[in-house]
DNA sequence: GGTGGCTTGCGTCAATGGTT
DNA sequence: AACCATTGACGCAAGCCACC
C-alpha cells in the first residue's frame, strides 16, 4: 500500500493539499459518494517496522484526517510543510479517487494490503488455472426414471468445477427423498429453493404421453440441438414436473442417452395433452438447457406466467456460477479478516514498543534534568 | 442419550456497479 | 441494454458444547 513506511493518514485523498481551513476545496471534483467525508482526525503509525518516519515534526491529532468513503479506507502519505500545513505527497490522487468511487471488494482491499504490507500475507490469487481444465459435471439419472419408486427427482453431483461455457446444466424440481437419502440433501437441489413449496411439482408417470410440438421443425435443429430425439412415454423416459406459475420441466432423453431438460409453460389437459410451444436454444443459455416459448400469449395471467418462467430461467442460468462466486467471496472475506487481524496484532505490538520507548525517554529526560 | 443454543459453512437471491 | 462480478442478507444443515 502506498504510504506504508512513512507517516500515514487513513483518508480518501480529499485532503486539500495546500488550503488552510477548507479541506474540501477540491470536493467539487470528487465523486458523489465521497460526500460523506468524516473529518475525524487521527494518526496511524506505520505498520512496517524499520521504516523511516518521513514527517520530522510530530503531527498533532488535530492536523490529521481520516476520511472514509464508501466503506473503504485508503492510506496515503502526507508531510508537513514549513507552515504547519499537511501536504499530501501521494502522486496519483486522481487514480485513488477513481478507485474510491467504485465499490470496494475484498480482493482489491486485501491485495492492496498484501502488496505493501507484510510479505507473508499472500495475495488473493486470481482464478486458478485448473478451473479451466475441468470439463465435465457428473449427473445422476433421476431416481424416478431409474426406478418406478415413489420418490421423484434427481441428484446433481458437482465433484469438480466445470467452466460455465461447458457446463451441461441439469436442473430439476425439489426432491422429496426417503429419510435414508436426506442425509445428502445438501447436494440435491432443484428448480427453486428447497424451502419453496414443492407441492406444486408433480410427476408425470411413465405411460403418460407428453407431446411438445415445435411451431417450426427447424427450431429443433438449430443451436446444437440436432441430435435431440425425444423418447416417448412408451419408453418411460419422459417425465415432467409442473413448476410454479404454470411452467414445467420436461425431461427427455437424447439419442446418445444423455438426459436433457426443457422448461416449458404447460397446461396439461385432463386428457394429458400439452399445448404447442416453440422450442429453441438461445445462445445465451448454457449447453443442455433449451427454452420453450409459448406462442400467442395474450392474457395478463399468461404474461405473468411467462415472466415467471423467464425469471426462473435466468436464475437457473446464474445458479451454478453464483454458487462458485459465493464460495470465492466467502474465502476472500475470510482472508481479508485474517489480514486485518494480523495487522491489528502488528499495530498493537508496535504501540507497545512505542510506549516503552516513550517511557524510557521520559526517564532519561527526568534523570538528566535531575543531574543538572 | 437428547435437547437447546451457538457457530460455521453453504446455496440462493437480489442489489449494485463495472464492462462490453 | 445486456451481461458479468461481487457481496449482503437470508434460510438451512451440520457440528460442537454445555446442561439435564
Give the pLDDT of chain A (372 residues) as one tens digit per residue. Answer: 332 222 222 333 332 333 333 333 333 333 333 222 222 222 333 333 333 222 222 222 222 222 233 233 333 333 333 333 333 333 343 343 333 333 345 656 655 555 544 444 444 443 333 333 333 333 322 322 222 222 222 223 333 333 333 333 333 333 333 333 233 333 333 333 333 333 333 333 222 333 333 333 333 333 333 223 232 322 333 333 333 334 444 443 333 333 344 444 433 333 333 333 333 333 333 333 444 444 455 677 777 777 677 777 777 777 787 888 888 888 888 888 888 888 888 999 999 999 999 999 999 999 988 887
For residue A325, say whether its CB is under 7 Å from any atom of strand C: yes
Radius of gyration of chain A (CA): 32
Going edge to edge, which strands form the sheet with A86-88? A8-11, A74-80, A86-88
A284 Cβ partners below 8 Å, 6+ apart?
A317
Give residue A204's pLDDT.
31
* Nearest protein residue by Cα to C1' of nucleotide C5: A325
Of all nucleotides, the one whose C1′ comes closest to residue A315's CA is B13
Q: At what angle do helices A106-116 and A300-371 cross, to 10 degrees?
A: 30
Give residue A364's pLDDT.
94
**Protein-contacted bases of chain B (C-beta within 7 A):** 9-14, 16-18
CA distances from A161 to A133, A157, A192, A288 (A): 9, 11, 21, 17
> Which pTM does this prediction carry?
0.40
Protein CA A313 to sugar C1' C10 (Å): 22
Protein CA A321 to sugar C1' C12 (Å): 20
Protein CA A283 to sugar C1' B19 (Å): 20
List the one residue out of A171, A148, A361 whose CA is nearest residue A248.
A171
Give residue A326's pLDDT.
86
Give residue A78's pLDDT.
36
For residue A195, say whether its CB is under 7 Å from any atom of strand B: no
How many CB atoms lie under 10 A from the CB of residue A291?
19
Q: Nucleic chain B: which protein residues 39-78 of A have CB below 7 A from it? A: none
Cell of A315: 436464475
**Protein-contacted bases of chain C (C-beta within 7 A):** 2-9, 11-14
Amino acid at each position: 500500500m502506498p504510504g506504508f513506511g512513512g507517516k500515514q493518514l487513513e483518508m480518501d485523498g480529499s485532503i486539500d493539499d495546500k488550503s488552510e481551513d477548507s479541506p474540501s476545496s477540491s470536493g467539487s471534483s470528487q465523486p458523489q459518494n465521497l460526500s460523506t467525508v468524516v473529518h475525524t482526525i487521527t494518526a496511524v503509525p506505520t505498520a512496517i517496522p524499520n521504516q523511516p518516519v518521513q514527517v520530522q515534526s510530530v503531527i498533532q491529532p488535530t492536523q490529521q484526517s481520516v476520511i472514509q468513503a464508501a466503506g473503504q479506507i485508503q492510506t496515503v502519505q502526507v508531510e508537513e510543510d514549513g507552515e504547519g500545513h499537511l501536504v499530501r505527497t501521494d502522486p496519483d490522487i486522481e487514480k485513488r479517487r477513481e478507485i474510491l468511487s467504485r465499490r470496494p471488494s475484498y480482493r482489491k482491499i486485501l491485495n492492496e494490503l498484501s502488496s505493501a504490507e507484510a510479505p507473508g500475507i499472500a495475495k488473493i490469487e486470481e482464478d486458478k488455472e485448473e478451473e479451466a481444465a475441468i470439463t465435465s459435471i457428473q449427473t445422476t439419472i433421476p431416481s424416478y426414471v431409474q426406478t418406478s419408486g415413489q420418490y421423484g427427482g434427481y441428484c446433481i453431483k458437482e465433484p469438480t468445477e466445470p467452466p460455465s461455457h461447458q457446463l451441461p446444466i441439469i436442473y430439476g424440481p425439489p426432491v422429496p427423498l426417503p429419510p435414508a437419502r436426506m442425509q445428502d440433501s445438501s447436494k440435491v437441489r432443484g428448480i427453486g429453493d428447497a424451502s419453496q413449496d414443492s407441492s406444486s411439482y408433480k410427476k408425470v408417470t411413465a405411460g403418460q404421453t407428453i407431446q411438445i410440438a415445435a411451431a417450426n421443425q427447424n427450431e429443433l435443429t438449430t443451436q446444437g440441438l440436432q441430435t435431440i430425439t425425444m423418447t416417448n412415454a412408451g419408453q418411460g423416459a419422459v417425465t415432467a414436473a409442473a413448476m410454479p406459475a404454470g411452467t414445467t420441466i420436461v425431461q427427455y432423453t437424447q439419442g446418445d442417452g444423455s438426459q436433457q431438460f426443457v422448461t416449458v409453460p404447460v397446461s396439461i389437459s385432463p386428457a394429458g395433452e400439452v399445448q404447442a410451444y416453440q422450442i429453441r436454444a438461445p445462445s445465451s443459455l448454457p449447453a443442455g438447457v433449451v427454452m420453450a416459448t409459448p406462442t400467442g400469449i395474450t392474457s395478463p395471467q399468461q404474461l405473468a406466467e411467462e415472466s415467471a418462467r423467464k425469471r426462473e430461467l435466468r436464475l437457473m442460468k446464474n445458479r451454478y456460477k453464483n454458487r462458485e462466486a459465493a464460495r470465492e467471496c466467502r474465502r476472500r472475506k475470510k482472508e481479508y479478516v485474517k489480514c486485518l487481524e494480523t495487522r491489528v496484532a502488528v499495530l498493537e505490538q508496535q504501540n507497545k514498543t512505542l510506549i516503552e520507548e516513550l517511557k524510557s525517554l521520559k526517564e532519561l529526560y527526568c534523570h538528566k534534568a535531575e543531574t543538572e
